[in-house]
Amino acid sequence: MKYPYQLDETLSVLIQSNFCFVISTDLEGRISYFNQKTVDQHPEWQRKLPNMLFTDLLSEEDKLRYARAVKKSLEDISLPSTQALHSFLEPLQATLPVQFSISVIKDDLYEPIGILLIGQEINLKTEKNSSTLHPLQGTNQQYASIANQLPMMVWVLDADMQCVFANESVTKHFQVTQQAELGRGYMKRLPKKELNGELGSFLNNLSLKQPFSLEVTLNNAGAEEWIHFHLSPQFNLDCQFSGYLIYGTDISHVHQAANAISKQNDLIRVLNKEFVRFKKIACCTNQSIILTNTINQITWINNALTDLMGYELSDIAGQQDFQIFCGIDTALEDIDQIKSSICNISSLKKEMVLYNKANHKLWIEFIKEPIFDEQQVFTGFLIILNDVSVRKVSETEAAKQLVSLKKMSFIASHEIRHEFSKIMQVTQTIKLQKPDIQVYQQLLAEIEKSTDKMNAAIYELNNQINFATSNSISLDAYLHQEIEEIVLIDDDGLVNEMNKVVIRSVFPDMPVKVFNEVDYAISHINAHPFTRRKIIVDLNFPHKSGWHFLDAYQKLDQPWSVVVLTSSLQQEDIERAKSYRFITHFMTKPLNPAQLKGLRILTSKKLRVA
């Protein structure tokens, strides 16, 4: 049968231990619950529920005693009354009355809703004055035997607050003898730091002679532990206070768990606070940032990662970085290094090919660092991605340029110069002789003029090479670079239209983008950073000039070259133009087909050439 009212820890222990009779009734006396010990004594009661009255089980004399005790309890619901009922066990053990502690059961509003009876058998065949003895004194060894079997600690105090009994759980827990615990021995472990603290609260409640519970820190062999005490006052047959029954439970593990949870919650609050700060910083940076858990599953990304790779957190949460970013051109060695850093919980920094959501290939600086908390416990990885595609393209182009420049240098310094030296040698030899034919001398003079022109041309070629190499620029004119579009920047609309006609005559299918303002041109280049292009820019026009464009373009670190097309012939403009590493030619207006062909532009294979 389930206990129908709110059940506290002490009553639960009493019900489970079965060394007391436990009965509850409503205010009219109808029995609503009795425990197994009661069933064992009166098995026939189960057939009489639910309308059986408790008073029907008592003699007329016991009914009067019981009525007085209930009335006393209802008059002061905070103080239980005690009454011995002689007829409760009849006819089985008529000589052993049962002493009941009668208390009022209250609801959440502290209103009476029933009666709780907790009974213990008492032996009247004890020596004189046995009616004033505590139940565990004298000859009631059965009670002591039951208490010794309980896992909880049990003390019994007499009316003078002297310990008269401590069960085996007490002696085992504190490693003491029963003799050492008797008298005031149970007080030795209570804290004595301050009387208004735990000790003061304990002593104050004892003096009230009312049931109470409290948690106290005790010293047990040098170790501090928490004990939950429940103290229940006891009364004799004359309703005189006879002492306390104390139940104690070690709840140190509960406090330790609570402290551990509190520390964990404090750490979580700190981590959450730090994570909020980190998110604010990470959301402001241009670097793409990823956080993972301990098994390398992605848990968070910043906006820069979304801008770079095209993924939202919902797209990639829970996935592995090397599974979603790597593609056909990603080196297997790079993937193996990422996996190794995950297994070894180690740092990794390298440049590698990755792919964004649109499957476009990017060169990325990949940085992966393990994260540890304050206790040096591994909590996940921090991944940083930096786009280095433009620089890698520039490095590739520079490598190609170097090869071409070396070829040019070899042609100029060995092949052409070698043949030229032969011609000069012949002309000088002939001049040293006395020719007989005047015409022959004239021919030699023409040859000498031609060699002078060739020599000048070679020096001009060298000057062009020096102009290029001294500024580390991309020489499209000598590299035969494939171009996808030509960009014209000039404030004169008529000049732009005429230049478009010239370009169409040489490159019929080449896209031409025309801009009469610098800002529009920069915006276009920013929006299409990987388009191969040739840029032709004028220098002098109102508002932002071509020089403003060159300064802005230099900050973009683009690999595509620029040609200056201007009406200016000032030497200072030419020298200033040389300071920009990406300028390959300085041409004067008007633009003509010969100048365009001199740039040696190749149409990209992506374009359909007629």
* pLDDT of 472 over the 60 cut: no
Classify domain 285-387 at the CATH class level.
Answer: alpha beta
Write the pLDDT tens digit of every residue in 179-223: 888 887 777 777 655 444 556 666 777 777 778 888 888 878 778
Contacts of 581 by beta carbon, 8 Å cutoff, 6+ apart: 471, 472, 473, 554
Q: Are 552 and 518 in contact (CB under 8 A)?
A: yes
Contacts of 246 by beta carbon, 8 Å cutoff, 6+ apart: 154, 155, 156, 157, 186, 229, 230, 231, 232
Q: Are 183 and 162 in contact (CB under 8 A)?
A: yes
Q: Does domain 9-122 have CATH number 3.40.50.9100?
A: no
* pLDDT of 5 over the 60 cut: yes
Residue 331 is predicted with a pLDDT of 92
The residue ranking higher by pLDDT, 526 or 269, is 526
Write the pLDDT tens digit of every residue in 272-291: 666 666 666 666 677 888 99
Residue 25 backbone phi and psi in degrees, to 5: -135, 165
Residue-wise over 595-609: b if at least 16 C-beta within 10 A, else e?
bbeebebeebeeeee
Domain boundaries, the chain: 9-122, 141-250, 285-387, 392-467, 476-603
pLDDT average, residue stretch 78-92: 74
* pLDDT of 602 over the 60 cut: yes
Residue 566 is predicted with a pLDDT of 87
Most confident stretch, 320-334, 428-442, 453-467: 320-334
Instruction: Give the pLDDT band (50/70/90) at residue 255.
Output: confident
* pLDDT of 333 over the 70 cut: yes
Residue 469 is predicted with a pLDDT of 43
Instruction: Give the pLDDT band (50/70/90) at residue 375.
Output: confident
Write the pLDDT tens digit of every residue in 501-512: 989 998 888 999
Residue 317 is predicted with a pLDDT of 92
The residue ranking higher by pLDDT, 127 or 552, is 552
- Average model confidence (pLDDT) for the chain? 78
Of 538, 547, 536, whose CA–CA distance to 596 is shortest? Answer: 536
pLDDT average, residue stretch 71-98: 74
* pLDDT of 540 over the 50 cut: yes
User: Residue 222: which region, alpha, beta or left (left: phi > 0; alpha: psi -120 to 50)?
Assistant: left
Residue 432 is predicted with a pLDDT of 61
CA distance 404 to 399: 9
Residue 480 is predicted with a pLDDT of 57
Residue 481 backbone phi and psi in degrees, to 5: -70, 140
The residue ranking higher by pLDDT, 482 or 353, is 353
The residue ranking higher by pLDDT, 282 or 380, is 380
Residue 522 is predicted with a pLDDT of 93
pLDDT > 70 fraction of the chain, expressed in percent and rounded: 74
pLDDT > 90 fraction of the chain, expressed in percent and rounded: 18
pLDDT average, residue stretch 322-335: 90
Lowest-confidence region among 41-55, 419-433, 462-476: 462-476
CA distance 489 to 550: 11
Lowest-confidence region among 195-199, 316-320, 537-541: 195-199
The residue ranking higher by pLDDT, 560 or 395, is 560
Q: Are 321 and 348 in contact (CB under 8 A)?
A: no
* pLDDT of 475 over the 50 cut: no
Residue 59 is predicted with a pLDDT of 84
Lowest-confidence region among 338-342, 414-418, 556-560: 414-418
What is the per-residue DSSP string for 368-428?
EEEEE-TT--EEEEEEEEEE-HHHHHHHHHHHHHHHHHHHHHHIIIIIIHHHHHHHHHHHH
| Residues 442, 444, 447: CA angle, nearest 5 degrees | 115
Instruction: Give the pLDDT band (50/70/90) at residue 459.
Output: low
The residue ranking higher by pLDDT, 606 or 478, is 606
* pLDDT of 525 over the 70 cut: yes
* pLDDT of 553 over the 90 cut: yes
* pLDDT of 32 over the 60 cut: yes
* pLDDT of 548 over the 90 cut: yes
**CATH number for domain 476-603, candidates 3.40.50.2300, 3.30.230.70, 3.40.50.300, 3.30.1540.10:** 3.40.50.2300
* pLDDT of 11 over the 60 cut: yes
Residue 519 is predicted with a pLDDT of 92
Write the pLDDT tens digit of every residue in 286-312: 788 899 999 999 998 888 889 899 999
Write the pLDDT tens digit of every residue in 108-143: 888 899 999 988 877 554 333 444 444 444 435 566
Lowest-confidence region among 169-173, 270-274, 506-510, 511-515: 270-274
- Confirm whether 9-122 and 141-250 share one CATH topology: yes
Tokens representing residue 231 in the block: 């103290």
The residue ranking higher by pLDDT, 334 or 208, is 334
Lowest-confidence region among 28-32, 54-58, 384-388, 485-489: 54-58
* pLDDT of 485 over the 60 cut: yes
pLDDT average, residue stretch 598-605: 71
Q: What share of the chain is helix, strand, coil (3-state, %, to 5)?
A: 45, 25, 35
- The CATH fold of domain 141-250: Beta-Lactamase (3.30.450)
* pLDDT of 446 over the 70 cut: no
